[in-house]
């Protein structure tokens, strides 16, 4: 690609080696994690400091160049890759990967946005503390992207989303101004909470460059169970029972359908079900805390004993070792990969009130069967916080590609049902370029207008991640 005055200015600002222009070498930064889409860009830029990000943003504003901020590029809604116009640059935060400080007594850690989640978790653990954000992509996703997408994961039930785990952040605005809000405070009632504008904004308002994260006391241990149940109604009953008996010890509560478990067992022969008989549904539940392990074991046994007495569960296995607990977790964490190996499907990342999950599944399953007889449902997710991966596969006799041609119709059935249950069409993956137009359809006019006014005030030129979040 010929060197333009803009790219020449970028090279002068951050160095020639930090401006990637070769189309082939740029490819990993232009292609989404599922390899469904590849965009185009003028270059990929690799700043190594907030100051360099600021200088680059000033250049982008001066030359009217669109900007796609990128962390680990693990998002699933095309939020971190450019479109096909070639009018954008990707600004990668991968070089900004330093831990800026750990304060164990204050239970905080300050990190740059390019820090890998696993590195953050390991650093906290070395300090005798826990950073609880837990995602399948933790070995490659970055904190800036986690915050930009307000990532959830498997511990939301107890610790909340990425938004709940952030006390302060630093961000560069489209004009190059730096919002320096790296507060390490639990109480700060001094005006609008500006950090929350950037968390969940998917890079459409600015570039997160650093953050102050909440830490927690390191748990002394965990107790993990794999439980068989007859229905989602029973899973909800067990959740209510566990919350009442274990209270804040309950860290994880994952619903797994028999189909979901089946795709794992079919494609990962080293993994076996902990239970001898098949069941329609399963729950992976875990207790953790600073209490003695014996106390947690007794708490879990008491919960399951009460559940058996009330006829809620069919069978259950409690992990007897850390290795067995990891085996239980592998059954959950490999569902997405097992599903991918089984064929293509139409994915949904939805959220409805926890109390409505069983009813939502029953109603929506039936609506889909009425509209697409024989379609295959692969349902799993975070029942404890009301979010589900609600995926629809082709009926027998119809190819995956042919069924994908009906994706808009399938989406409408699912999203209309989500709306009737007062839910959200994106629980934790964000909107990106895949769902922004659908989101506008289900949002109220006032809500959409407020979002547009905020966008217009902060990014009047519309250069920040265009085509994402807002239609």
Model pLDDT, residue 30: 97
pLDDT in tens, 282-303: 999 999 988 888 889 999 999 9
In the predicted structure, residue 1 carries a pLDDT above the cut 80: no
Please give the CATH topology (third level) of the domain spanning 343-442.
Answer: Alpha-Beta Plaits (3.30.70)
Q: Which residues pair with 99 in a beta bridge?
A: 111
Question: 145 or 220: which carries more pLDDT confidence?
Answer: 145
Percent pLDDT > 70 in the chain is: 100
Which class does domain 221-336 fall in? alpha beta
pLDDT at position 2 is 60
**The two structure tokens encoding residue 1:** 């690609």
Structurally, at CATH architecture level, domain 99-217 sits in 2-Layer Sandwich (3.30)
User: Is residue 420 predicted with pLDDT exceeding 90?
Assistant: yes
Segment 3-60, tens digit of pLDDT: 799 999 999 999 999 999 999 999 999 999 988 899 999 999 999 999 999 999 999 9
Tell me the fold of 5-92. Answer: 3.30.43
Domain coordinates in residue numbering, the chain: 5-92, 99-217, 221-336, 343-442
pLDDT interval class at 471 (50, 70, 90): confident
pTM, two decimal places:
0.93
| Secondary-structure percent of the chain, ordered helix, strand, coil, rounded to 5 | 40, 25, 35
Average pLDDT over residues 226-248: 96
pLDDT at residue 445, rounded to an integer? 93
Which element (helix H / strand E) includes 436?
A: helix 436-442
* pLDDT value at 213 more than 80: yes
Check: CB of residue 125 under 8 Å from CB of residue 118: no
Please state, in angstroms and rounded to a whole number, the distance separating the CA atoms of residues 158 and 132: 9
Q: What is the pLDDT of residue 147?
A: 97
What's the confidence (pLDDT) of residue 248?
86
Helix (H, G, I), strand (E, B) or coil at 263: helix
Say which residues have a Cβ less than 8 Å from residue 63's Cβ, sequence separation at least 6.
5, 6, 9
Q: Which residue has the higher pLDDT, 117 or 2?
A: 117
Mean per-residue pLDDT, 439-466: 95
Q: Which stretch, 101-105, 245-249, 290-294, has highest mean pLDDT? A: 101-105
Q: What angle do CA 114, 71, 69 make, to 5 degrees?
A: 115
Q: Are 166 and 195 in contact (CB under 8 A)?
A: yes
- Residue 187 pLDDT > 90, yes or no? yes
Q: Tell me, what's the pLDDT at 390?
A: 96
Q: How far apart are the first and last CA of the chain?
A: 30
Task: Note whether 99-217 and 343-442 share their fold.
Answer: no
Please give the mean pLDDT across all residues of the chain.
95
Torsion angle, alpha carbons of 343, 345, 347, 352, to 10: -110
Percent of the residues in the chain that have a pLDDT greater than 90, as a whole number: 89
**What is the reported pLDDT for 300?**
96
**What is the reported pLDDT for 437?**
87
């Amino acid at each position: 690609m010929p060197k333009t005055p803009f790219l020449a200015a970028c090279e002068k600002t951050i160095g020639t080696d930090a401006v990637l222009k070769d189309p082939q070498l740029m490819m990993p930064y232009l292609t989404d994690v599922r390899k469904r889409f590849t965009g185009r860009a003028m270059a990929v830029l690799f700043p190594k400091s907030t100051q360099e990000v600021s200088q680059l943003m000033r250049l982008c504003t001066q030359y009217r160049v669109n900007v796609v901020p990128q962390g680990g590029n693990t998002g699933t809604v095309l939020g971190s890759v450019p479109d096909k116009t070639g009018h954008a640059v990707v600004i990668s935060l991968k070089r900004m990967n330093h831990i800026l400080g750990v304060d164990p007594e204050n239970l905080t850690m300050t990190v740059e946005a390019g820090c890998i989640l696993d590195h953050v978790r390991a650093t906290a653990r070395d300090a005798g503390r826990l950073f609880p954000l837990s995602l399948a992509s933790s070995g490659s996703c970055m904190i800036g992207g986690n915050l930009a997408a307000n990532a959830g994961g498997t511990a939301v039930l107890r610790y909340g989303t990425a938004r709940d785990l952030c006390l302060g952040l630093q961000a560069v605005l489209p004009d190059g101004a730096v919002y320096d809000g790296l507060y390490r405070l639990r109480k700060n009632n001094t005006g609008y909470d500006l950090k929350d504008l950037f968390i969940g904004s998917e890079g459409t308002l600015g570039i997160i460059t650093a953050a102050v994260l909440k830490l927690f006391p390191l748990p002394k241990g965990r107790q993990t169970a794999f439980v068989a149940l007859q229905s989602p109604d029973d899973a909800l009953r067990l959740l209510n029972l566990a919350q009442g008996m274990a209270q804040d010890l309950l860290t994880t509560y994952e619903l797994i359908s028999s189909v979901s478990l089946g795709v794992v067992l079919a494609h990962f022969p080293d993994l076996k079900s902990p239970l001898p008989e098949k069941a329609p549904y399963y729950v992976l539940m875990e207790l953790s805390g600073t209490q003695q392990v014996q106390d947690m074991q007794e708490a879990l046994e008491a919960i399951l004993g009460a559940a058996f007495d009330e006829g809620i569960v069919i069978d259950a296995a409690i992990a007897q070792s850390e290795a067995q607990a990891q085996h239980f977790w592998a059954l959950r964490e490999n569902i997405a990969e097992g599903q991918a190996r089984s064929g293509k499907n139409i994915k949904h990342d939805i959220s409805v009130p926890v109390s409505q999950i069983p009813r939502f599944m029953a109603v929506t399953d039936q609506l889909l069967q009425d509209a697409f007889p024989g379609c295959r449902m692969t349902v799993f997710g975070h029942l404890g916080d009301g979010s589900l991966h609600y995926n629809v596969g082709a009926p027998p006799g119809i190819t995956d590609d042919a069924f994908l041609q009906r994706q808009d119709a399938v989406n409408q059935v699912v999203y209309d049902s989500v709306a009737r249950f007062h839910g959200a069409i994106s629980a934790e993956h964000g909107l990106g370029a895949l769902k922004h137009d659908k989101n506008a359809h289900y949002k109220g006019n006032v809500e959409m207008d407020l979002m547009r006014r905020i966008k217009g005030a902060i990014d009047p030129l519309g250069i920040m991640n265009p085509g994402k979040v807002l239609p």
